[in-house]
Structure 1
Amino acid sequence: MTTIGIGSSSFSSTSLLKPQPHHHHHHILLKPTPSRTPKPKPISAVRATEKLPAKWNPDSWKSKPALQIPDYPDKDQLESVLKTLESYPPIVFAGEARKLEERLGEASRGDAFLLQGGDCAESFKEFKTDNIRDTFRLLLQMGVVLMFGGQMPVIKVGRMAGQFAKPRSDSFEEKDGVKLPSYRGDNINGDAFDQKSRIPDPNRMIQAYTQSVSTLNILRAFATGGYAAMQRVNHWNLDFTEHSEQGDRYRELAHRVDEAMGFMAAAGLTIDHPIMTTTPFWTSHECLLLPYEQALTREDSTSGLYYDCSAHMVWVGERTRQLDGAHVSDKMDPNQLVKLIEILNPRNKPGRITVISRMGADNTRVKLPHLIRAVRGAGQIVTWVSDPMHGNTIKAPAGLKTRSFDAIRAEVTAFFDVHDQEGSFPGGVHLEMTGQNVTECVGGARTITYNDLSSRYHTHCDPRLNASQSLELAFIIAERLRKGRLRRGISSTGNFVR
């Protein structure tokens, strides 16, 4: 699985390896540009590739300018930690990443839909089974809304089990006249505003690894141990949606699912098949801390391909997407999106390239059509995905960062409108959301105002949708998927994937 990006804050999957003719899956992010014609700025990075030339090695990134990498004061301790990580088992496996690529290939054809979401940033102190369960449960709820309402298989990817690092615009922050290094995420330093906490500590990578393994273990148990069974669709309720419009809509849909399953059972169709009792679930995080990612890059014994085994999907952000930098190996002209796709996917394999737009609603309507036409005109196959979060971050009067639900909904609507107009397929959505009852984004059916933000504002990074807002958005997307399939004369899909 590989990825590239063009973003307003920039999200994308990636790895540490140099692009080669037959590498794996890519993601491209799109941001608005000041010119009249779109000039996308791709980020290139490779998640898996064929055996590389002898001159390449996993630490070749060290010869390039590396931004957002901490300066560890104790180099001996750093090397010791990295050697330890290199000796540890991989967190995920190559075959799982290949399966995700296949699913994303289905999304490129309009036969599946990507739902990617989770925390802006994980933390060590909030590592609780309940928090993991609640976000996983919300993704299950959103997935069943999209799948049942849109008659569409849903690919579920969590921003979980490794999403610790925080890119920073400023290396320092100042409070009351005291200036300290910026907090860069729990896998690098501490968020307490004191000198000791802000010193980069390599041992935090070990803690990040163990927490990621534990989180993925919990997710696997939920996904395969019966919790995700469709028979439990009525049990996936979050307490704080109990008396809400979205909660009522979900319960009504869950009742319809129960009735459908009852009909299946009465007709003699088995409902204990694994496809009804388990759900595939993948993980993703930002590929920011390259020493950590290098330590977990392994050669797959079955294919001879290299994989960054820290997650199924990793991305390069806006602050690390320099094409001559350490995070990205390709030196391609950033304006030549079509040429970049040609280089990264010479065999035009479905599922290898994902283009993620994060532009705001107005720019989506103006810029995205030109990009779709350029890619289609070249005969290239990509999966188009919308991230309606990062192009809509604003500051509330009290100073807190927030996002307007209306602006998020408007960008999703624009994304679907453009694809309807162009005859292309909307392949997915990427959200920052949580199963916790937070008040971080304003608006929604259960209206959160600027005055409400401070009551339950818990994010370590960017504002997230809460469960009610997430479900509201899922119903909106499901309706657009349903209308799109009816317009194309498709009532159901041949490849059912939960």
Structure 2
Amino acid sequence: MALSNASTLSSKSVHQTHSLFSSLSHQPSSSLVPGKTHLRSLHPISAVHAAEPAKNPVVVDKPPKTSSPSVPAGSGKWTVDSWKTKKALQLPEYPNESELESVLQTLEAFPPIVFAGEARSLEERLGDAAMGNAFLLQGGDCAESFKEFSANNIRDTFRIILQMGAVLMFGGQVPVIKVGRMAGQFAKPRSDPFEEKNGVKLPSYKGDNINGDAFNEKSRIPDPQRMIRAYCQAAATLNLLRAFATGGYAAMQRVTQWNLDFAEHSEQGDRYQELAHRVDEALGFMSAAGLTVDHPIMTTTEFWTSHECLLLPYEQSLTRKDSTSGLYYDCSAHMLWVGERTRQLDGAHVEFLRGVANPLGIKVSHNYGKQDWSSTTTERFTFYMSWLSDFVSITFIRSPEFVGSPYPLLVSNKMDPNELVKLVEILNPHNKPGRITVICRMGAENMRVKLPHLIRAVRQAGQIVTWVCDPMHGNTIKAPCGLKTRPFDAILAEVRAFFDVHEQEGSHPGGVHLEMTGQNVTECIGGSRTVTFDDLSSRYHTHCDPRLNASQSLELAFIIAERLRKRRMGTQRLLALGNKFSGWPSLTLVFRPSITAGINRKGRISGGWAGRQAGCSNKSDNPSKSGQMHAWKSWCRHALHLVAVPPHASSPIIHVTIRSSTPSSWFSPRWIHRRTDGLPMRP
């Protein structure tokens, strides 16, 4: 599956270019590769790399002896057990230490579940997503369970991910990176360590690899033997997934056969069948033209696994040193993420993850507060306006002139922009594309208000991350019957907000992260099949949080595919306009930075200071309201906006290049001077 072409900037070239800028500022002061301290029975395993070369092999430069491209510099030398010197949250207390040690020694002797070469391949694909050249589809159970472990359940979840991938790839015309919350997603963090029912207080259920969900004392005692069972189930799950991915089940020729039986005659099932027939016709055309459809790229698919890095003793016991690169990989999954409750900068989970070379995710939540301007960074960078699809946006980033402004900066108490920048620096100091995925879980309204600040902070720091939307966790409510559920409309609203913000900021929406299943469950309300509150109890099977069923997942995929299609069409339009106007004279304006104003093609403007300066002419003086601006409308019709935000820029002024045959006829410098309080201009 080709993930880049000659006309796009590859993640590798960006990383190489960035290395030239950052080589002086990121000199490690000590060795970054773990030293002689190992697990009790840990030795280099020669088979840790992929047994067979990848179809599209990933070229990885041999790391120097004193540093590695992925292992970040921390305060002190990293070892596989250095996390034990840090404060560890959400870990269970096992009553029998000797039994725990015995289990961990057994796991250390087991073979790795995944290979380092596969994790490196995923990192490269995620780097493409960070550049806008691919899209991540990450989905699966909220928490896997021992009770529901079956080949049919694994197949159905894999099949719906294949369907969603086909919809996204056909609509967006970009490669889709398929990553499952599977083969290891057992442990779950809990906000309360105890649960009380009818006056009885017991430890909370934390996932099948820690304790049981039955509400009795024996079940809730953490049992280390459950880690052995979790390992075996994860290995068996991945074995079946490998067979499905490479054994012909995932072949594009079978695209018409992936529909689940219960969804076959639904609205989404019918839409999928229509798309599948179009794909089938395209394959027939290729075959008639003499192009082979039996190539492995058409008969197999790449599939990776992921889970939250929570149970650190288990993760440590499956960490291996790769014999080809000398780096350490957590071989329990291809990708790991650190959760909202465990990503403290000086915490044990961050300490462990900074030393493993797997691609990493960072969960970012929505609890926000206010912070004074003076405590935020004021560094500026080059920014070009963007025109994507039918929405035009302008973003002015603040500069020293606005420090002390009465307009407050909204930041997250759980993850403010500065903290995110610091965390990314700890986990990825060499700024390697694909290493870090930021998974946002905020709710639609919070997404629109607060995500832009995170994007700007990361961009201003010159960091390369893959932005992903988790529309599930910010939209959990309690139904009248007492069950937890998630409204499909709220999930959809957050996804749309995620795309809108990235259009506004000129950044790339890199993917979605979903809790979903291939089963015909009734856990989330809404969707085209209209699951109601009354329907919840009929097929409510989750052990933790509600999941999208197959029909709802497919419906969401079609909506996301439409957004990807509009984005692609907007990019093509931009390139066409660039060719048309390439010989026209240009006018460069220099703006004093402000907050944010969004303008659509109907001439409506909204935003903070920029909206107030431009002047809202309708019923309200509130700058968040819309106002009819004829000059802006003319601008939106004729201006050409280019997207190019160098991640390394630190001090250049903000500027916009506008091309037109007669700029003064529709974009008067006097109008700019009058309506924006004397912004300086430069020819």
Report the TM-score when normalising by structure 1. Answer: 0.86
For residues 341-398 of structure 1, give each alpha carbon's deviation from its aligned partner in whole angstroms, at most 9, with x where no partner exists: 3454343322122222111111111112222223223333221111111111111111
Which residue, out of 343, 349, 367, partners 2:432?
A: 349
For residues 78-128 of structure 1, give each alpha carbon's deviation from its aligned partner in whole angstroms, at most 9, with x where no partner exists: 111100000111111111110001000111111100000000011111110
Matched, 1:244 2:263: no
Alpha-carbon contact 2:32-2:73 (below 8 Å) kept? no
Which residue, out of 549, 552, 557, partners 1:469?
A: 552
The 5-angstrom pairing of residues 408-423 of structure 1 reads 408-423=491-506
Instruction: Indicate the larger mover: 387-396 or 168-177.
Output: 168-177
Displacement of 1:289 in angstroms is: 0.8
Which residue, out of 485, 496, 507, partners 1:424?
A: 507
Which residue, out of 266, 283, 291, partners 2:305?
A: 283
**Alpha-carbon distance change, 220 to 167 in structure 1, aligned in 2, over 3 angstroms:** same
- Name the structure 1 match of 2:283: 261
Alpha-carbon contact 1:96-1:312 (below 8 Å) kept? yes
The 5-angstrom pairing of residues 345-424 of structure 1 reads 345-424=428-507
Instruction: Indicate the larger mover: 380-389 or 369-378.
Output: 369-378
**Alpha-carbon distance change, 323 to 343 in structure 1, aligned in 2, over 3 angstroms:** closer
In structure 2, what is the Cα distance between the partners aligned to 1:207 and 1:380? 39
Matched, 1:231 2:228: no
In structure 1, what is the Cα distance between the partners aligned to 2:101 and 2:191? 27
Q: Which runs of 5+ in 1 are unaligned?
A: 1-18, 24-45, 493-498
Displacement of 1:181 in angstroms is: 1.7
The 5-angstrom pairing of residues 40-439 of structure 1 reads 49=71, 55-329=77-351, 335-439=418-522
Alpha-carbon contact 1:20-1:49 (below 8 Å) kept? no
Secondary structure of the structure 1 residue equivalent to 2:572: coil
Give the letter for the 2:80 counterpart. Answer: P
Alpha-carbon contact 2:71-2:427 (below 8 Å) kept? no
- Name the structure 2 match of 1:446: 529
Alpha-carbon contact 1:183-1:191 (below 8 Å) kept? yes
- Name the structure 2 match of 1:486: 569
In structure 1, what is the Cα distance between the partners aligned to 2:193 and 2:69? 28
Give the letter for the 2:131 counterpart. Answer: R
Alpha-carbon contact 1:48-1:308 (below 8 Å) kept? no
Give the % identical residues: 80
> Aligned pair count?
451
Alpha-carbon contact 2:418-2:457 (below 8 Å) kept? no
Give the letter for the 1:410 counterpart. Answer: A
In structure 2, what is the Cα distance between the partners aligned to 1:333 and 1:142? 33
**Alpha-carbon distance change, 55 to 411 in structure 1, aligned in 2, over 3 angstroms:** closer
Secondary structure of the structure 1 residue equivalent to 2:521: coil
Report the TM-score when normalising by structure 2. Answer: 0.63
Displacement of 1:250 in angstroms is: 0.2
- Name the structure 1 match of 2:538: 455
For residues 267-295 of structure 1, give each alpha carbon's deviation from its aligned partner in whole angstroms, at most 9, with x where no partner exists: 00000011100000000111111110010
Alpha-carbon contact 2:417-2:457 (below 8 Å) kept? no
Q: Which runs of 5+ in 2 are unaligned?
A: 1-29, 35-67, 355-414, 576-683
For residues 181-224 of structure 1, give each alpha carbon's deviation from its aligned partner in whole angstroms, at most 9, with x where no partner exists: 22211111111222211121111100000000000000000000
Displacement of 1:20 in angstroms is: 8.2
For residues 107-155 of structure 1, give each alpha carbon's deviation from its aligned partner in whole angstroms, at most 9, with x where no partner exists: 1111100000000011111110000000000000000000011111100
Q: Which structure's relative contact order is higher, taking Cα pairs within 8 Å and 6+ residues apart?
A: 1
Moved over 4 A (4+): 19-23, 50-55
Give the letter for the 2:563 counterpart. Answer: R
In structure 2, what is the Cα distance between the partners aligned to 1:344 and 1:247? 42
In structure 2, what is the Cα distance between the partners aligned to 1:137 and 1:239? 11
In structure 2, what is the Cα distance between the partners aligned to 1:83 and 1:295? 7
Alpha-carbon contact 2:128-2:134 (below 8 Å) kept? yes
- Name the structure 1 match of 2:648: none
Alpha-carbon contact 2:72-2:430 (below 8 Å) kept? no
